[in-house]
Amino acid sequence: MHNPYKRWRYYLNVETMNRKGYLVLLLSVLILAGCNASRNSSSAQDAVVSINSLPRNIYIEGGKFHVQGVVVDVKRGYAYFSFTTSLVKTNLKGEIIGSVEGFLGHLGCLDVNPEDGRLYASLEYKSDNIGKGILKGLGNDSLLSKQQGSSFYIAIFDPEKITRPGMHAEKDPVLTTVYLKEVLDDYTATVKHKGKEVQHRYGCSGIDGISFGPQFGKKNGKTYLNVAYGIYSDTSRSDNDYQVILQYDPRELKKYERRLSQNHFEAIGPDKPLNKYFVYTGNTTYGIQNLEYDPYTGFWLAAVYNGKKTLFPNYGLFAIDGGKAPVLETLKRFDNGEKGKVLQLAKAGSYDVKTNTYGWHFKWGATGIHSLGNGYFYISENGTTKEKKQYCNLQLYRWTGNPDIPFEKVK
């Protein structure tokens, strides 16, 4: 016969053990929660300290050509500026650390590849008025007779090798290039529109805006390089109302990299982009000047020079919704019923009912915008000094998303 006292003592011990287990588990949860709270609090404080430690502005003067794009590496304490025919590296006080000179073409928007830390920029050589103006502005008219035509590249800089002012784009091993055949094909194409033959498919004037970020429709995952077309301002056409973005896998581009040669343009690069996207904004003057992915909002911010068509509100800033995957659509107001992968504007900013477009009338950003990833940005405010020198005054801004003013200066 079983002893009831022993059985009662056995259940008591099990219950006691269970209670102890629950207490241990509860205590562990509380400790972990405290650690996480502490960690989150620490992260929030780090973000505040990081912003508080940053300069409210970074000022630098260039030469005859205005600033085209900017990158700010807050971790390493450097800023980079594209001044059309040169790349300038400074510290966060605006003191020049080094520069790469000698470009005979248009060096545009900048961004940094998060995987390898290298700087990517759009680089174009054109025989149009822009290209001729650059060569003339360099002060050597003989260069005009040596012009080889048009060619378009991604320029890739190793920032650690930019160690002194006056480094040369060809003579010093600081950069490589990748040729973009798709851009030249569209730039040189003749298409039919409204019964007439017109030059430059989609109004393509070359490339400018450039940025890294996740695939459209995703918040995370592999990072891709997106390169935006320049678009000629032409109010007589209706097939130039889309921004055009080419997408590439930067890992696949490495096999095409070559040293820059301006005496003989290398045509080494992918035959086609990974994807070709369209964004309906209305025609703008020279397309997306600066493209910047912002992980804080999930937007791809596109800063432009205002368009001139009275049909459109002619915003200076658009936000492409990175959370929405592209949709195959028939492109609006094309003669041939062409279809394309269309990206969506975010429902943010001011809304124009007539054209179903969103955006902001914001003055700055077309000459440089860099997201710090936590709701803060450095935005270029450019101008000309009394001595006729171009300058860039990078201002620290905070994102508001307000329909009237999307950014406010950090004081």
Is 221 buried (19+), middle (13-18) or exposed (0-12) by CB count in 10 A? exposed
pLDDT of res. 264: 86
Provide CB contacts within 8 A for 371, sequence distance 6+: 292, 293, 294, 295, 296, 301, 377
263-301 confidence digits (pLDDT tens): 889 899 999 999 999 999 999 999 999 999 999 999 999
Question: What gap in Å lies between CA 118 and CA 100, rounded to an integer?
Answer: 14
User: Is residue 45 predicted with pLDDT exceeding 50?
Assistant: no
Count CA within 13 A, CB hemisphere, residue 123. 26
Find residue 194's DSSP bridge partners.
none
Name the DSSP letter for residue 360: B
325-369 confidence digits (pLDDT tens): 999 999 999 988 999 999 999 999 999 999 999 999 999 999 999
The residue type of 280 is Y
Question: Which has more confidence, 134 or 362?
Answer: 362
Tell me the pLDDT of the chain averaged across its residues: 88
196-249 confidence digits (pLDDT tens): 999 999 999 999 999 999 999 999 999 999 999 999 999 999 999 999 999 999
pLDDT of res. 136: 65
Structure tokens at 264: 């003989």
pLDDT of res. 51: 85
Question: Which stretch of DSSP H or E encloses residue 252?
Answer: helix 250-253
Find residue 38's DSSP bridge partners.
none
Percent of the chain with pLDDT over 90: 79
pTM value?
0.86
